C-alpha cells in the first residue's frame, strides 16, 4: 500500500494555519508590550466625537456653578437635542459625551436620588429628561452616546463624607442602566474645594486617590456596560487618559502606554510613557470656543477654521482622539456660529484627505525603508502613517525625505517647534510641511521597539486655507496705569472718575506661577474708602487659562480699582498676561 503523505498532511496543516497565525500574532504583540482591548480599538477608530456642556451655568454665565443656583433658572425656550445631534454629525463627530451633572450638582435627568434636577425646573413642567432626549437623538442619527458625571458635587450636603460615594454610584447606575449603550464615562479631575454643600458654604477637601473607592466603581461600570471605556486622570488608571491641557494638543511624541500605578506628572499625560505597562491612550479635549459653557460674549470668538485644523493635526494626527466641545445656548440649541464652523471644519478635513496620491504611485519596501515613486513630479504637503496598533505601538522614530531635482531633501513637521517631530506613529500620525514637488518620497523607520507593522502610508495635497473669522484674540490694555502695592495686590488708577461695568484678567500663559484662582475686587473714589465690587473664583483657570471676565451687578463709579489675589495656583506673587477694564 502506497501512502501519499502530502495528501494526508496537507489538510492537517491547513486546519492548523489559523492557530499558527494566531500564535504568531500573539508572539508579535507580546514582543513590544501592552496592546489595546477591542473596546479601545473601537474607540480609537471613532477619532472625533463631541462634548456637550449644558447646565445651570448656561443661565448664570459661569464655568463652574457654586451649587446654590436655583433650578427654576433652567427653562429653555427651544431645547432641541436632535439639532445637537445633527450638527455634531455634520461636523464629523462620531458620538457625543454629555455633561449629565457638572460640579454644581444639578442633574440633567430626573434622578431619583436628589431634588436638585430638571424635575424641579419649569422646563416641561418638571417632566423633562435631557439625557433621555439626547440619547434617543444620537441613536436616530447613528451616533454613539456617552455621559460625563462630575465626581465633585458642590450642592450635595454629604460631599466629602462616605455617604456621598454611595449617592454618586447610585446616580452612575441610573445613567448606565436607563439610557442604552454608553461608549464612555467621563469623570472630571476637579475634585474638592469650596461649595454650597446644602447650605454649609465651606471648603471640603478629599483624598482623590482613596475617597471615591474607584476600583468598586470601575467594577460596577464594567458589569453594567461591558463595552464602555472609563476616562479618569486619577491615580486609579482608567482606559483613557487626559493629555494634560485643554488647549487642543497632545505631544508630538505620544505613546498609548502608561504606568498602571502611581502619580501621573504632566509629561506622562502629554507624551505617554514608552515603557508603560498598561495601554491607556490619550484623549484630547478642547472647546470650539474659549470656554466650555456658553457665554454670549464669546459669540465672535469661535475658533477659526485654521485653528481647528491645527487642533486636528495635533490630536487625531498625533495618535489621539479629538473630543470637541459644542456649548448649548440659553435657548437650548447650538449657536449658529458654532454649528457653521464645525461643519466647515469637517468639510475641510474631507477636502484635505480626499485624494491619496500614494495610491497611484509605486511602493517599494526593503527592511525599514519604503520608497514611494510618483509617475511624474507631484506636489504634496501632508504625509500620513498608521501602525496596526492591534499588535502594539512600535515605532519610536522615523525619517521623511522627498527627492527634488535628483536630491533627497529632509522633511520635518512644521507644527513642531524643536526638532523634526518625526517620532511616534501609533493609530495615525499626520506630518505637515510646506508644499514640495517631488518624484519620490522616502519613509525610513530609524528606531523601533520591535518589528514595525505599518498599516498605511498616505500622501496628500492640502488646499490653502482662505481667510475666516479669527481666533479669540488677546486685546492689549497698554493705556491702563496699573502697579502693585504688594505681591498679591494690583491697583489701577485714572485721572478722573470712571463708570466701570466689568473687569477682565488674562492669566500668565504656560505657567501656573502667580496665576490667580480666587479674587476680591474693590473700588474707591478717594484712596481712603473702599467698596467691595466683586469676589469669587476664576473656575477652571489652571487648565484653561483664557480671559476671565468679572461682570458687575451694576455699574461702579471709581477712580481706583484694587484686585486682591486671595489665592494663587502656585507661587507667592500675582502674575498676569494682561488686564482690561470695560467702562461706559
**Residue range 329-342, pLDDT digits in tens:** 999 999 999 999 99
Please indicate whether residue 465 or residue 202 has the higher confidence score (pLDDT).
202
Q: pLDDT category, 32, cuts 50, 70, 90?
A: confident
Query: In this model, does residue 4 exceed pLDDT 90?
Result: no
Query: In this model, does residue 111 exceed pLDDT 80?
Result: yes
Contacts of 582 (CB under 8 A, 6+ apart): 500, 501, 502, 503, 504
What pLDDT score was predicted for residue 77? 94
> What is the rounded CA–CA span in Å between residue 200 and residue 389?
50
Specify which residues 442 forms β-bridges with.
Answer: 371, 401
3-state secondary structure 119-135: HHCCHHHHCCCHHHHHH
What pLDDT score was predicted for residue 1? 45
Report the range of poorest mean pLDDT among 55-59, 310-314, 534-538.
Answer: 534-538
Query: In this model, does residue 41 exceed pLDDT 70?
Result: yes
pLDDT tens digits for range 522-575: 999 988 899 999 999 999 999 899 999 998 989 999 989 999 999 999 999 999
> What is the rounded CA–CA span in Å between residue 244 and residue 320?
13
Report the range of poorest mean pLDDT among 432-436, 467-471, 491-495, 512-516.
Answer: 467-471
Q: Please state the rounded mean pLDDT for residues 425-453.
A: 97
Please indicate whether residue 19 or residue 78 has the higher confidence score (pLDDT).
78
Please indicate whether residue 229 or residue 417 has the higher confidence score (pLDDT).
229
Query: In this model, does residue 262 exceed pLDDT 50?
Result: yes
C-alpha cell at 79: 431645547
Closest-CA residue to 272 (of 391, 425, 127): 425
What pLDDT score was predicted for residue 235? 59
Q: Please state the rounded mean pLDDT for residues 109-126.
A: 98
Mean per-residue pLDDT over the chain, rounded? 91
What pLDDT score was predicted for residue 17? 37
What pLDDT score was predicted for residue 22? 41
536 DSSP 8-state letter: E
C-alpha cell at 129: 429628561
Q: Please state the rounded mean pLDDT for residues 492-516.
A: 91
> What is the rounded CA–CA span in Å between residue 315 and residue 429?
9
Q: Which helix (H) or strand (E) holds 214?
A: helix 214-224
> What is the rounded CA–CA span in Å between residue 283 and residue 37?
16
Q: Decide: helix, strand or coil at residue 307.
A: helix
First to last CA, the chain: 109
C-alpha cell at 178: 436607563
Closest-CA residue to 570 (of 542, 532, 536): 542
Report the range of poorest mean pLDDT among 6-10, 127-131, 432-436.
Answer: 6-10
Query: In this model, does residue 348 exceed pLDDT 60?
Result: yes
> What is the rounded CA–CA span in Å between residue 367 and residue 122?
68
Q: What is the DSSP string of 427-495?
A: T-EEEEEEEEEEEEEEEEEEEESSS--EEEEEEE-PPPPPP-PPP------TT-EEEEEETTEEEEEEE
> Percentage of the chain surpassing pLDDT 70?
92
What pLDDT score was predicted for residue 516? 96
Please indicate whether residue 80 or residue 464 has the higher confidence score (pLDDT).
80
What pLDDT score was predicted for residue 473? 38
What pLDDT score was predicted for residue 318? 98
Query: In this model, does residue 10 exceed pLDDT 70?
Result: no
Query: In this model, does residue 468 exceed pLDDT 70?
Result: no
What pLDDT score was predicted for residue 39? 98
> What is the rounded CA–CA span in Å between residue 432 and residue 411?
9
Q: pLDDT category, 313, cuts 50, 70, 90?
A: very high
What pLDDT score was predicted for residue 413? 96
**What is the CA angle 5-8-14, rounded to 5?**
120
Q: pLDDT category, 234, cuts 50, 70, 90?
A: low
Q: Please state the rounded mean pLDDT for residues 501-510.
A: 91
What pLDDT score was predicted for residue 527? 84
Query: In this model, does residue 127 exceed pLDDT 80?
Result: yes
Contacts of 143 (CB under 8 A, 6+ apart): 49, 85, 88, 89, 93, 94, 95, 96
> Would you say 422 and 398 are in contact if contact means Cβ atoms under 8 Å apart?
yes
What pLDDT score was predicted for residue 19? 38
Query: In this model, does residue 406 exceed pLDDT 60?
Result: yes
What pLDDT score was predicted for residue 208? 86
Report the range of poorest mean pLDDT among 160-174, 301-315, 357-371, 453-467.
Answer: 453-467
> Would you say 555 and 468 are in contact if contact means Cβ atoms under 8 Å apart?
no
> What is the rounded CA–CA span in Å between residue 303 and residue 411?
29
> Percentage of the chain surpassing pLDDT 90?
82
What pLDDT score was predicted for residue 494? 86
> Would you say 477 and 578 are in contact if contact means Cβ atoms under 8 Å apart?
yes
Stated pTM of the model: 0.86
Query: In this model, does residue 490 exceed pLDDT 80?
Result: yes
Closest-CA residue to 116 (of 158, 147, 80, 179): 158
Report the range of poorest mean pLDDT among 128-137, 208-217, 484-493.
Answer: 484-493
Amino acid at each position: 500500500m502506497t501512502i501519499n503523505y502530502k495528501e494526508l498532511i496537507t489538510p492537517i496543516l491547513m486546519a492548523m494555519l489559523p492557530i499558527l497565525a494566531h500564535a504568531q500574532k500573539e508572539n508579535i504583540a507580546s514582543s513590544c508590550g501592552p496592546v489595546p482591548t477591542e473596546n479601545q480599538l473601537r474607540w480609537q477608530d471613532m477619532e472625533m466625537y463631541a462634548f456637550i456642556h449644558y447646565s445651570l451655568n448656561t443661565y448664570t454665565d459661569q464655568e463652574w456653578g457654586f451649587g446654590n443656583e436655583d433650578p427654576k433658572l433652567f427653562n429653555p425656550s427651544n431645547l432641541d437635542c436632535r439639532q445637537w445631534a445633527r450638527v455634531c454629525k455634520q461636523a464629523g463627530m462620531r458620538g457625543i459625551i454629555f455633561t449629565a451633572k457638572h460640579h454644581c450638582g444639578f442633574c440633567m435627568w430626573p434622578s431619583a436620588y436628589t431634588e436638585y434636577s430638571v424635575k424641579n425646573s419649569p422646563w416641561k413642567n418638571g417632566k423633562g429628561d435631557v439625557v433621555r432626549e439626547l440619547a434617543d437623538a444620537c441613536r436616530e442619527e447613528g451616533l454613539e452616546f456617552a455621559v460625563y458625571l462630575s465626581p465633585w458635587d458642590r450642592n450635595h450636603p454629604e460631599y466629602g463624607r462616605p455617604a456621598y460615594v454611595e449617592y454618586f454610584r447610585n446616580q452612575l447606575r441610573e445613567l448606565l442602566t436607563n439610557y442604552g449603550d454608553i461608549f464612555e464615562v467621563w469623570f472630571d479631575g476637579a475634585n474638592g474645594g469650596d461649595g454650597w454643600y446644602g447650605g454649609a458654604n465651606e471648603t471640603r477637601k478629599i483624598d482623590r486617590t482613596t475617597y471615591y473607592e474607584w476600583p468598586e466603581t470601575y467594577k460596577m461600570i464594567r458589569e453594567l456596560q461591558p463595552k464602555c471605556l472609563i476616562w479618569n486622570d486619577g491615580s486609579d488608571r482608567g482606559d483613557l487618559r487626559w493629555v494634560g491641557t485643554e488647549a487642543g494638543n497632545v505631544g508630538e511624541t505620544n505613546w498609548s502606554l502608561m504606568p498602571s500605578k502611581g502619580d501621573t506628572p504632566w509629561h506622562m499625560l502629554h507624551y505617554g510613557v514608552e515603557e508603560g505597562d498598561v495601554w491607556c491612550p490619550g484623549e484630547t479635549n478642547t472647546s470650539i470656543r474659549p470656554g466650555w459653557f456658553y457665554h454670549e460674549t464669546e459669540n465672535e470668538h469661535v475658533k477659526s477654521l485654521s485653528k481647528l485644523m491645527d487642533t486636528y493635526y495635533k490630536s487625531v494626527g498625533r495618535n489621539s482622539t479629538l473630543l470637541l466641545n459644542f456649548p448649548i445656548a440659553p435657548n437650548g440649541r447650538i449657536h449658529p456660529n458654532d454649528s457653521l464652523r464645525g461643519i466647515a471644519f469637517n468639510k475641510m478635513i474631507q477636502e484635505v484627505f480626499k485624494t491619496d496620491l500614494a495610491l497611484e504611485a509605486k511602493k517599494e519596501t526593503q527592511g525599514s525603508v519604503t520608497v514611494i515613486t510618483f509617475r511624474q513630479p507631484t506636489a504634496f504637503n501632508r504625509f500620513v502613517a498608521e501602525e496596526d496598533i492591534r499588535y502594539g505601538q512600535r515605532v519610536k522614530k522615523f525619517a521623511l525625505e522627498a527627492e527634488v531635482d535628483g536630491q533627497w531633501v529632509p522633511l520635518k513637521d512644521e507644527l513642531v517647534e524643536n526638532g523634526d517631530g518625526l517620532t511616534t506613529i501609533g493609530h495615525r500620525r499626520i506630518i505637515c510641511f510646506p508644499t514640495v514637488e517631488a518624484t519620490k518620497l522616502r519613509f525610513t523607520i530609524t528606531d523601533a521597539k520591535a518589528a514595525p507593522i505599518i498599516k498605511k502610508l498616505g500622501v496628500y495635497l492640502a488646499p490653502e486655507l482662505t481667510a475666516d473669522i479669527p481666533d479669540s484674540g488677546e486685546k492689549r490694555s497698554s493705556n491702563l496705569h496699573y502697579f502693585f502695592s504688594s505681591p498679591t495686590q494690583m491697583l489701577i488708577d485714572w485721572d478722573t472718575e470712571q463708570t466701570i461695568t466689568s473687569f477682565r484678567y488674562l492669566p500668565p500663559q504656560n505657567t501656573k506661577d502667580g496665576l490667580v484662582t480666587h479674587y476680591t475686587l474693590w473700588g474707591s473714589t478717594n484712596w481712603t474708602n473702599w467698596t467691595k465690587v466683586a469676589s469669587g473664583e476664576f473656575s477652571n483657570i489652571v487648565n484653561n487659562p483664557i480671559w476671565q471676565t468679572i461682570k458687575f451687578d451694576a455699574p461702579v463709579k471709581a477712580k481706583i480699582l484694587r484686585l486682591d489675589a486671595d489665592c494663587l495656583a502656585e507661587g507667592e506673587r500675582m502674575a498676569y498676561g494682561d488686564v482690561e477694564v470695560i467702562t461706559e
